[in-house]
Amino acid sequence: KAGVTQTPRYLIKTRGQQVTLSCSPISGHRSVSWYQQTPGQGLQFLFEYFSETQRNKGNFPGRFSGRQFSNSRSEMNVSTLELGDSALYLCASSLGTLNEQFFGPGTRLTVL
Amino acid sequence: QQQVKQSPQSLIVQKGGISIINCAYENTAFDYFPWYQQFPGKGPALLIAIRPDVSEKKEGRFTISFNKSAKQFSLHIMDSQPGDSATYFCAASKSGNTGKLIFGQGTTLQVKP
């Protein structure tokens, strides 16, 4: 069974731009969660989508948004990028009924 | 507000030794406590998880000990190997927020040959 895939793996943007990251969950998984990982703040929850609906949201500004499609694939978007948005963005999927989340390899975003 | 506190920040253990990482949580509504292992350049991988109805869970060389009254849980790695060198994260979540994990700050483990 294929794992969680994330594209692209690496991304370089400049301040003020926007970016879209993509996540394909494990087949059959309906829940997709997004996390931001930085050396200073560690792993922080961004939001979770289940059956195309946002089910949970973390404490991030409105510049961070996401969506989920009918095939459970998810995208997250960050608008008006800031230097502090440089991070590893991780996507995790689960069946939705259990809490076992399986993570993808992440997208490394660098904002210059 | 940090809801899950993890210690130590870094740990050096000799091959064959026992590695112990501790976590403490604040929210008594948490009822699911997983541990993740992360290697450089990779996403976190689920190692082992426990729920409050048991005090200990063992899978191979990895054991979680859980103390509900103290709101603490720990990971023990027996017979530590150089291949165990990685960053370990504890996490917690509660029923109803199944997709929202609150992570500890991580422990970087180095196992010396």
CB A107 within 8 A of CB A7: yes
Give the sheet arrangement for strand A64-68, strand by strand: A5-7, A19-24, A74-78, A64-68
Q: What is the CA radius of gyration of chain A?
A: 13
Q: Is the pLDDT of residue A99 over 80?
A: no
B89 in contact with chain A, both atoms CB, cutoff 8 A: yes
The DSSP symbol for A25 reads P
pLDDT digits (tens, 9 = 90+) for B61-84: 999 999 999 999 999 999 999 999
| Site of tokens 């720990």 | B74
Q: Of A10-14, A97-101, A106-110, where does mean pLDDT reach its minimum?
A: A97-101
Contact B93 A42 (CB under 8 A): no
Using the Cβ of B17 and the Cβ atoms of chain A, whether some distance falls under 8 Å is answered with no
- Name chain A contacts of B41, Cβ cutoff 8 Å: 105
In angstroms, rounded to a whole number, what is the distance separating the alpha carbons of residues A8 and A98? 28
Q: Two tokens at A71?
A: 């095939």
Of B25, B23, B21, B26, nearest to B10 by C-alpha is: B21
What are B40's two structure tokens? 């450089």
Residue B32's closest chain A neighbor by CA? A99
Q: How far apart are CA A44 and CA A34, in angstroms?
A: 9
- pLDDT score of A24: 98
8-state DSSP, B83: G
d(CA A61, CA B11): 35
Q: How far apart are CA B80 and CA A60, in angstroms?
A: 38
Task: Give CA–CA dist B31/A57, Å, rounded.
Answer: 19
Token pair for A3: 């794992």
Q: Quote the pLDDT of residue A100.
A: 87
What value does the mean pLDDT take over residues A62-91?
Answer: 97
Task: Please check whether residue B36 touches A, CB under 8 A.
Answer: yes
Mean pLDDT of chain B: 93
Write out chain B residues lying below 8 Å of A50, CB-based.
99
